[in-house]
Structure 1
């Protein structure tokens, strides 16, 4: 069961603070909640199967045509739809990386190759990745910033990857679900390159920045309209509910909320990382709304006894027991987490 277990599984254990899911600690904007609540009055009707109002709002935000956007029941549905529509025979994944890519590929009988990120390089992308972009590949998945490390691929490297894949006819799926939390968001934004790279599909979601995990809403963008049509044909109709569509339209108006959230998370990430390092824990140089670090093998179990849930990363490919990911939350919550860590970790157990 651990193989595909994610963070945010709060339904089997009692807890005080959930650090296992990387959700905006400021919560769901009030306007989004109200829009979802109001839309319940329309629940006697089927949802708009084409998400027209939502796609128009997204097109304005992303500066593209609505026809270049496909909405889904969370980013996960679109990951599975991509694989089902394209039916890749061979795919390349970075490891560690988000488990949903592997799950979707294996469900469709795809051969998976891994580029393993190494601790001796701080789990950073290395240029030798490009050597693995061979002509027999059909698809690659990239997460930028990466989950669980929170690290970015340098822009010049990313564009070179796009070009190599274009020349070798490799589909590029770029997961940008955490981009809104970045201090230098433009350095990781590639929607402006979609016209240059028809092999590129960019994935985003409302889950993290708008704290809408329970409503399930994601979207993908590509200039390849035939790809989007193939993807649409393999998902069930009406997968995006009326409340999710209404909440999405309302969320896109919350620009001030997004800026405020990103600023707070950036400040708290720096503070929290320093506290972990002061305990002699190895911490990855994340730029996202979470921190990836190495601790003792029983840390998650001990934290759970204290009412704190953290993400055990041992089910990521290439990682062993003792690697963890924690969300960045409010200062009060982060102070409580640090107190729990100090209580649990004896000086001799703190790793360099």
Structure 2
């Protein structure tokens, strides 16, 4: 049986009645009202096959992203598209950040590609430094970068990201930028480079409805790219109905939720600062996350196991490359859950 490497495993059998899941980084406000209404109001449409071209959804995304619908490919979550990119483009050598989201490596391993790593350093607070440009060499075919990074939550400003895009362009490297968490940033315009998609033909942007719209169980993501050859290759991979009618209708509804997103940002900011302050008071080393999750280090390597006894799930980061025991990630949840987590940590009494 496949071993689970992600958070959000609330389905495993446990000897506890209540689970508070801090291991998955989902918007604590839950599904927007309009998304719930879209699920119910379109019930009669579910007897038909979905639109394999996702025409209505792609038009809505194009308007939201200020680009052309032809520049968009939709999929069954961002992870689905990551594998499609790897299968379609078959990079022989890929540069990855370490630590980062595991599906990049999984997709490259699946096609037997070689991987080169840029190791983030604890003594540099896990920040991406300017020397990353030296790692982008002519023998590379592809690079993945998560902005803000998962599990650290640390973003890279758009100015620095554009330097990376340009270096990749010079070396004929395709750059895949995962912006799935960028919607949670207070000033996302200072970090996102999706507006440059038409300018750089070596650039692919990944986004998803999973986190910001709390649609993890619905599964919906997309990529943006202005390179027709790349788009044609990725479009040719996979089965034609990877996006269900339910997901498509939910996506169209979600993109109109401007106030919901604004409220979500404000809610995350307040609760993130509370958690960071409380974790620091307890003696944990907390890194400078700007996303909807917090990355920290504890002396107690079994902290996740002890918290589970209290019905709390957190993400151990021991399986991330370049991390070891003692690193953990928690989602930023609502006030009541956050207070409960801190109370549980105080009861455990160790850091």
User: Which TM-score tier does this pair reach, normalised by the shorter chain?
Assistant: over 0.9
TM-score of the superposition, structure 1-length normalised?
Answer: 0.96
Contact kept in structure 1, 2:158 and 2:193, CA below 8 Å: no
**Which residue of 99, 102, 105 corresponds with 1:99?**
102
Say whether residues 1:307 and 2:311 are aligned partners: yes
Unaligned runs of 5+ in 2: none
Pick closer, same or farther for the CA change 1:98–1:4 going to 2, 3 Å: farther
Q: Deviations over 1:265-289 (max 9, x none)?
A: 0111111100000011000100000
Aligned to 1:169: 172
Deviation larger for 228-237 or 93-102: 228-237
Contact kept in structure 1, 2:301 and 2:326, CA below 8 Å: yes
Say whether residues 1:323 and 2:327 are aligned partners: yes
Say whether residues 1:337 and 2:341 are aligned partners: yes
Q: Deviations over 1:110-137 (max 9, x none)?
A: 1011111011011111111111101000
Aligned to 1:186: 189
**Which residue of 209, 230, 234 corresponds with 2:233?**
230
Say whether residues 1:205 and 2:208 are aligned partners: yes
When the two chains are superposed, the root-mean-square deviation of aligned CA atoms in Å is: 1.2
**Which residue of 132, 136, 141 corresponds with 1:138?**
141
Query: What is the count of residue pairs matched by the alignment?
Result: 347
Runs of 4+ in 1 over 2 A off after TM superposition: 1-4, 13-16, 37-40
Unaligned runs of 5+ in 1: none
Aligned to 1:11: 11
Aligned to 2:27: 24
Q: How does 1:95-134 map onto structure 2 within 5 Å?
A: 95-134=98-137
Q: How does 1:45-84 map onto structure 2 within 5 Å?
A: 45-84=48-87
Aligned to 1:262: 265
For residues 278 and 266 of structure 2, the distance between their equivalents in structure 1, rounded to whole angstroms, comes to 19
TM-score of the superposition, structure 2-length normalised?
Answer: 0.97
